[in-house]
Amino acid sequence: MHAINFSIDDYFQRIDIAYVDGRGDADLTRIMRAQLHSVPFENLDVQAGKIVSMVPEDIVDKIVHRKRGGYCYEVNGLFSMALTALGFEFDIIGARPMFYPQRRPKTHVVLLVKSGAERWLCDTGFGSFGLRAPIGLHQLGQVIQQDNETFMLDKNERNEFVLKALVKGEWANQFGFDLQPMEWIDFSLANYYNSTHPDAVFVKQYLVMQQHAQGRTLLSGNHLKRIGLDGEVVTEVSPDQLDDVLWREFALRR
Protein backbone atom coordinates (compact mmCIF):
# COMPACT_ATOMS: atom_id res chain seq x y z
CA MET A 1 0.00 0.00 0.00
CA HIS A 2 1.21 3.48 -0.86
CA ALA A 3 0.55 7.01 0.42
CA ILE A 4 1.98 10.13 -1.18
CA ASN A 5 2.80 11.60 2.24
CA PHE A 6 4.58 8.47 3.54
CA SER A 7 8.29 8.84 4.27
CA ILE A 8 10.28 5.89 5.56
CA ASP A 9 12.54 8.29 7.45
CA ASP A 10 9.54 9.86 9.22
CA TYR A 11 8.20 6.38 9.95
CA PHE A 12 11.45 5.24 11.55
CA GLN A 13 11.52 8.41 13.62
CA ARG A 14 7.94 7.71 14.75
CA ILE A 15 8.80 4.19 15.89
CA ASP A 16 12.15 5.32 17.34
CA ILE A 17 14.64 3.11 15.51
CA ALA A 18 17.55 3.72 13.18
CA TYR A 19 17.19 2.95 9.49
CA VAL A 20 16.68 -0.70 8.54
CA ASP A 21 17.70 -1.66 5.02
CA GLY A 22 17.62 -5.47 5.18
CA ARG A 23 14.76 -7.80 4.35
CA GLY A 24 15.57 -10.72 6.63
CA ASP A 25 13.31 -12.09 9.35
CA ALA A 26 15.42 -10.36 12.02
CA ASP A 27 14.83 -7.02 10.27
CA LEU A 28 11.11 -7.75 10.05
CA THR A 29 10.99 -8.58 13.75
CA ARG A 30 12.86 -5.43 14.70
CA ILE A 31 10.48 -3.19 12.76
CA MET A 32 7.32 -4.91 13.99
CA ARG A 33 8.40 -4.78 17.63
CA ALA A 34 9.44 -1.14 17.33
CA GLN A 35 6.02 -0.19 15.98
CA LEU A 36 4.22 -2.21 18.64
CA HIS A 37 6.21 -0.45 21.38
CA SER A 38 5.65 3.02 19.90
CA VAL A 39 2.20 3.12 18.30
CA PRO A 40 -0.75 2.30 20.56
CA PHE A 41 -3.81 0.35 19.56
CA GLU A 42 -6.66 2.79 20.19
CA ASN A 43 -10.25 3.65 19.26
CA LEU A 44 -10.48 7.27 20.39
CA ASP A 45 -11.93 8.42 17.06
CA VAL A 46 -14.69 5.81 17.23
CA GLN A 47 -15.52 6.88 20.77
CA ALA A 48 -15.70 10.47 19.50
CA GLY A 49 -18.35 9.42 16.97
CA LYS A 50 -16.06 9.50 13.94
CA ILE A 51 -15.83 6.94 11.14
CA VAL A 52 -12.24 5.77 10.90
CA SER A 53 -10.63 6.66 7.58
CA MET A 54 -8.86 3.95 5.62
CA VAL A 55 -7.38 6.43 3.16
CA PRO A 56 -3.61 5.78 3.28
CA GLU A 57 -2.71 9.48 3.48
CA ASP A 58 -5.09 9.95 6.42
CA ILE A 59 -3.47 7.02 8.23
CA VAL A 60 0.00 8.51 7.77
CA ASP A 61 -1.14 11.93 8.94
CA LYS A 62 -2.85 10.52 12.02
CA ILE A 63 -0.19 8.10 13.23
CA VAL A 64 3.09 9.52 11.93
CA HIS A 65 2.46 13.26 11.89
CA ARG A 66 -0.03 13.65 14.76
CA LYS A 67 1.51 10.90 16.91
CA ARG A 68 -1.75 9.02 17.37
CA GLY A 69 -2.43 5.30 17.26
CA GLY A 70 -5.27 3.41 15.65
CA TYR A 71 -7.04 0.09 15.40
CA CYS A 72 -6.15 -2.81 13.13
CA TYR A 73 -6.82 -1.28 9.72
CA GLU A 74 -4.82 1.82 10.58
CA VAL A 75 -1.78 0.36 12.31
CA ASN A 76 -1.46 -2.63 9.99
CA GLY A 77 -2.06 -0.29 7.06
CA LEU A 78 0.84 1.86 8.20
CA PHE A 79 3.00 -1.23 8.72
CA SER A 80 2.21 -2.36 5.17
CA MET A 81 3.38 1.01 3.81
CA ALA A 82 6.70 0.57 5.59
CA LEU A 83 7.06 -2.96 4.24
CA THR A 84 6.35 -1.71 0.73
CA ALA A 85 8.94 1.05 1.06
CA LEU A 86 11.53 -1.46 2.27
CA GLY A 87 10.89 -3.95 -0.52
CA PHE A 88 9.18 -6.73 1.45
CA GLU A 89 6.65 -8.90 -0.37
CA PHE A 90 3.42 -9.51 1.53
CA ASP A 91 -0.28 -10.33 1.24
CA ILE A 92 -3.13 -8.62 3.05
CA ILE A 93 -5.23 -11.31 4.74
CA GLY A 94 -8.65 -11.28 6.39
CA ALA A 95 -8.76 -12.87 9.84
CA ARG A 96 -11.72 -14.07 11.89
CA PRO A 97 -11.71 -13.03 15.57
CA MET A 98 -12.40 -16.17 17.61
CA PHE A 99 -12.69 -15.04 21.22
CA TYR A 100 -16.42 -14.26 20.85
CA PRO A 101 -19.06 -16.86 21.85
CA GLN A 102 -20.47 -16.98 18.30
CA ARG A 103 -18.71 -17.38 14.95
CA ARG A 104 -17.80 -13.97 13.52
CA PRO A 105 -16.93 -12.73 10.01
CA LYS A 106 -13.40 -11.87 8.94
CA THR A 107 -13.30 -8.32 10.27
CA HIS A 108 -9.64 -8.29 11.32
CA VAL A 109 -6.71 -7.61 8.98
CA VAL A 110 -3.26 -9.21 9.22
CA LEU A 111 -0.23 -9.42 6.94
CA LEU A 112 1.62 -12.46 5.61
CA VAL A 113 5.14 -11.30 4.85
CA LYS A 114 7.71 -13.18 2.79
CA SER A 115 11.25 -13.17 4.14
CA GLY A 116 13.73 -15.60 2.66
CA ALA A 117 11.99 -18.89 1.94
CA GLU A 118 9.36 -18.45 4.66
CA ARG A 119 6.11 -16.55 5.19
CA TRP A 120 5.54 -14.77 8.47
CA LEU A 121 2.30 -13.77 10.19
CA CYS A 122 2.56 -10.13 11.24
CA ASP A 123 -0.03 -8.15 13.18
CA THR A 124 0.48 -4.79 14.88
CA GLY A 125 -3.18 -4.23 15.70
CA PHE A 126 -4.87 -6.94 17.75
CA GLY A 127 -6.26 -5.48 20.95
CA SER A 128 -6.49 -8.73 22.90
CA PHE A 129 -3.55 -11.13 23.26
CA GLY A 130 -1.75 -9.82 20.20
CA LEU A 131 1.50 -11.02 18.71
CA ARG A 132 4.67 -9.37 19.96
CA ALA A 133 6.77 -10.47 16.97
CA PRO A 134 6.19 -12.34 13.70
CA ILE A 135 5.36 -16.06 13.72
CA GLY A 136 6.33 -18.17 10.71
CA LEU A 137 3.85 -20.46 9.03
CA HIS A 138 6.62 -23.06 9.16
CA GLN A 139 6.38 -22.90 12.97
CA LEU A 140 2.96 -24.57 12.88
CA GLY A 141 2.31 -26.51 16.08
CA GLN A 142 5.28 -25.08 17.95
CA VAL A 143 4.95 -23.32 21.30
CA ILE A 144 6.36 -19.83 20.74
CA GLN A 145 7.44 -17.68 23.68
CA GLN A 146 7.37 -13.93 23.00
CA ASP A 147 8.37 -11.89 26.05
CA ASN A 148 5.79 -12.72 28.73
CA GLU A 149 3.26 -14.19 26.27
CA THR A 150 3.01 -17.69 24.79
CA PHE A 151 1.52 -18.44 21.37
CA MET A 152 0.90 -21.34 19.02
CA LEU A 153 -0.12 -21.41 15.38
CA ASP A 154 -2.46 -24.35 14.81
CA LYS A 155 -4.99 -25.56 12.25
CA ASN A 156 -8.67 -26.30 12.82
CA GLU A 157 -11.17 -28.70 11.25
CA ARG A 158 -11.80 -26.21 8.41
CA ASN A 159 -8.08 -26.26 7.60
CA GLU A 160 -7.79 -22.63 8.71
CA PHE A 161 -4.73 -21.40 10.54
CA VAL A 162 -5.59 -20.43 14.11
CA LEU A 163 -3.49 -18.22 16.36
CA LYS A 164 -3.76 -19.36 19.97
CA ALA A 165 -2.54 -17.63 23.12
CA LEU A 166 -1.88 -19.26 26.46
CA VAL A 167 -4.28 -17.50 28.85
CA LYS A 168 -4.33 -18.53 32.51
CA GLY A 169 -2.84 -21.90 31.64
CA GLU A 170 -5.22 -22.75 28.79
CA TRP A 171 -4.98 -22.25 25.03
CA ALA A 172 -7.45 -19.62 23.81
CA ASN A 173 -8.20 -19.07 20.12
CA GLN A 174 -7.50 -15.48 19.06
CA PHE A 175 -8.19 -15.42 15.32
CA GLY A 176 -8.30 -17.71 12.31
CA PHE A 177 -7.25 -17.11 8.71
CA ASP A 178 -6.53 -18.78 5.41
CA LEU A 179 -3.98 -17.86 2.76
CA GLN A 180 -6.37 -16.12 0.35
CA PRO A 181 -5.10 -12.58 -0.32
CA MET A 182 -7.55 -9.69 -0.05
CA GLU A 183 -7.52 -6.11 -1.29
CA TRP A 184 -7.52 -3.07 0.98
CA ILE A 185 -10.99 -2.06 -0.24
CA ASP A 186 -12.34 -5.43 0.93
CA PHE A 187 -12.16 -4.22 4.54
CA SER A 188 -14.22 -1.06 4.03
CA LEU A 189 -17.49 -2.61 5.22
CA ALA A 190 -15.84 -4.19 8.26
CA ASN A 191 -14.29 -0.84 9.12
CA TYR A 192 -17.67 0.87 8.81
CA TYR A 193 -19.24 -1.75 11.07
CA ASN A 194 -16.50 -1.43 13.69
CA SER A 195 -16.73 2.38 13.56
CA THR A 196 -20.51 2.71 13.80
CA HIS A 197 -22.49 -0.37 14.82
CA PRO A 198 -23.80 -0.29 18.40
CA ASP A 199 -22.86 -3.96 18.86
CA ALA A 200 -19.23 -3.36 17.86
CA VAL A 201 -16.90 -3.52 20.85
CA PHE A 202 -15.08 -0.38 19.65
CA VAL A 203 -18.35 1.59 19.79
CA LYS A 204 -19.28 0.24 23.21
CA GLN A 205 -16.18 1.25 25.15
CA TYR A 206 -12.67 2.65 25.11
CA LEU A 207 -10.02 0.13 24.04
CA VAL A 208 -6.46 1.40 24.23
CA MET A 209 -3.41 -0.85 24.46
CA GLN A 210 0.32 -0.22 24.42
CA GLN A 211 2.82 -3.04 24.34
CA HIS A 212 6.17 -2.64 26.04
CA ALA A 213 9.19 -4.88 26.42
CA GLN A 214 7.86 -7.06 29.25
CA GLY A 215 4.11 -6.63 29.09
CA ARG A 216 1.37 -4.24 28.09
CA THR A 217 -0.87 -1.52 29.44
CA LEU A 218 -4.56 -1.79 28.57
CA LEU A 219 -7.51 0.56 29.04
CA SER A 220 -10.73 -1.40 28.63
CA GLY A 221 -13.82 0.63 29.38
CA ASN A 222 -13.15 2.23 32.74
CA HIS A 223 -10.48 -0.23 33.86
CA LEU A 224 -6.75 0.30 33.44
CA LYS A 225 -4.69 -2.90 33.46
CA ARG A 226 -0.92 -2.97 33.79
CA ILE A 227 0.27 -6.44 32.81
CA GLY A 228 3.88 -7.46 33.31
CA LEU A 229 6.20 -10.14 34.61
CA ASP A 230 4.87 -9.67 38.14
CA GLY A 231 1.25 -10.17 37.16
CA GLU A 232 -1.64 -7.81 36.58
CA VAL A 233 -2.68 -4.66 38.40
CA VAL A 234 -6.16 -3.28 37.71
CA THR A 235 -7.22 0.28 38.51
CA GLU A 236 -10.64 1.85 37.99
CA VAL A 237 -10.62 5.05 35.93
CA SER A 238 -13.28 7.69 36.56
CA PRO A 239 -14.50 9.96 33.73
CA ASP A 240 -12.60 12.95 35.11
CA GLN A 241 -9.38 10.88 35.21
CA LEU A 242 -9.62 9.65 31.62
CA ASP A 243 -7.69 12.42 29.88
CA ASP A 244 -4.87 12.22 32.40
CA VAL A 245 -4.65 8.42 32.04
CA LEU A 246 -4.63 8.61 28.25
CA TRP A 247 -1.75 11.06 28.28
CA ARG A 248 0.26 9.54 31.12
CA GLU A 249 -0.04 5.90 30.04
CA PHE A 250 -0.37 6.16 26.25
CA ALA A 251 0.80 9.68 25.25
CA LEU A 252 -2.62 10.27 23.67
CA ARG A 253 -4.97 13.23 23.71
CA ARG A 254 -8.61 13.06 22.74
Catalytic-role residue among 58, 72, 147, 197: 72
Residue 65: DSSP 8-state: I
Alpha carbon distance 186, 164 (integer Å)? 25
For residues 42, 48, 52, 57, the Cα torsion angle rounded to the nearest 10 degrees is -90
Residues 215, 232 contacting (CB under 8 angstroms) = no
**CB distance 225 to 231 below 8 Å:** no
From 10, 65, 123, 240, active-site residue: 123
72 is catalytic: yes
Contact in structure between 111 and 93 (CB atoms under 8 Å):
yes
Q: Of 16, 108, 154, 186, which residue is the catalytic one?
A: 108
What SS3 state is found at 164? strand
How far is residue 161's CA from residue 44's CA, in Å, rounded to a whole number? 31
Catalytic residues: 72, 108, 123
